[in-house]
Amino acid sequence: MTTAQTDTGVLAGDERMLIDGELQLTGSGATFEVVHPASEQVAGQATDGTVEDMARAVGAARRAFDETDWSRDVEFRHHCLMQLHDALERNKERLRRILITEVGCPVTVTGSQIESPIAEVEHWAEHGRNFDYLVDNGVHETPLGPAQRKIHYEPVGVVGAITPWNVPLYLNIAETVPALMAGNTVVLKPAQLTPWSGTEYGRIVAEETDIPAGVFNVVVSNANEVGAALSADPRVDMITFTGSTATGRAILAAGASTVKKTLLELGGKSAHIVLDDADFTSALPMAAMMACVMSGQSCIMPSRILLPRSRYDEGIELLKNMMAGFPVGDPWTPGTMQGPQISEGQRQKVLGLIKSGIDSGARLVTGGGIPENLPVGYYTQPTLLADVDPDSQIAQEEIFGPVLTVTPYDTDDDAVAIANNSIYGLSGEVSSGDVERAFAVACRMRTGNVTINGKSHFGIGSPFGGTKQSGLGYRNGEEGYKEYLDAKTIGMPA
């Protein structure tokens, strides 16, 4: 295990991947660099896995599913996942430092990326232990006489999980632990920019749990072909993926020849409709803060603010005051709320979209560039654009940066139409002094999830999924657990 340590707290993760129970480097010894976004310095290396490595991992997962009792032994799975929970708890400060090193997430806001996923392991272990895998569906009359029908929920098989870089440990856990508890075997392909959140997970599984060889595998690589090989492999029964809509389309296409079950959480361009009776002093500063935390690198962020024309200037001023003074800087400093973008490429994408917005007629209210006091690191100023055309690129394309666009509207119907004017439908928000009015507006928004007056829709017990081109299927809740199961109806004599 290779580690790198400095006074800033930078810490590299394990270079090795986990295949068939063995922590290993790729055969050639090739590695790729992992860069700390706050310093632009190489923090360490990860092994550069190959298509052949992925094929071995899939083969191991296939054998473990077909030839062991993992899929049938609920109590053993519960035992292993509780071991995993305890091991993650023991390793959480190491995981926190690795997360900050890879992502640049400020230490102040790492709770949702460290404590939350660790708690979810215990939740899914208990949920799966108590789940009714055999349900009596009653007696049904048929032309051949009465039939007793039962529904048997059984694991899908081999699950391939492909995860993004913005909240890597959380999504590595969210996309694999319920799958494992449901009785599947798993191959995890973490994002290229954040391999260590995956390799450390693999190390903990191998060294600190009784999860059998082949049940859980991690393959890291700097090559897109390796993830594509996982999507296309006929031995894989299901792909779960969080990331861009463009990549989601490619995964659907790759799995089409084998008609794979596919669970997708894709892009978002969520709207926050602020009604004319809303408490602006409560709703808008919070909206501005949420745009900057995690450097705007969140798929559910309501990045389009829709303000009533009658209170437009008031709303712009409140948003400006919050964003202009938002604490941006070194993620290791307590109190910092916005760190760098994940990479220089991502920062240039954000800056390019800001320029596109200005070129299309948007008014730059604050931000728009690189902070002068932060010449090193991939930092971007919190940016507010007003008078945004709802059909412009900046209003239609996911930015994944600390950028809010503001568009005026005249009526509730107008606001709903603007909110729904998107290929995406992942999340949304409504603010109003009248909850029933807000609820009526929320029901008309074509999106999978809506927050009203800051009361978040997101939680482990509630289904989370997108409409339109924001995804297929659900995470969380009973619906999320069942995604990793097939329902088999069995008819028998009454």
DSSP H helical ranges for 293-449? 312-324, 344-359, 393-396, 412-419, 435-444
CB atoms within 10 A of CB 312: 16
Catalytic-role residue among 102, 265, 398, 483: 265
User: How far apart are the C-alpha atoms of 214 and 335, rounded to whole Å?
Assistant: 42
CB 288 within 8 A of CB 338: no
**Which helix H or strand E contains 152, and what residues bound it?**
strand 147-155
CB 406 within 8 A of CB 387: yes
265 annotated active-site: yes
Q: Which residue's entry shows tokens 């657990």?
A: 481
DSSP 212: P
Positive/negative CA dihedral, 59, 65, 69, 70: positive
User: How far apart are the C-alpha atoms of 276 and 264, rounded to whole Å?
Assistant: 35
Please state the separation of Cα 373 from the chain's center in Å: 31
* CA distances for 316 relative to 107, 141, 323, angstroms: 30, 64, 11
105, two tokens: 């997430």
Angle between helices 280-292 and 312-324 (to 10 degrees): 40
Residue 366 forms beta bridges with which residues?
Answer: 384
Residues serving a catalytic function are: 265
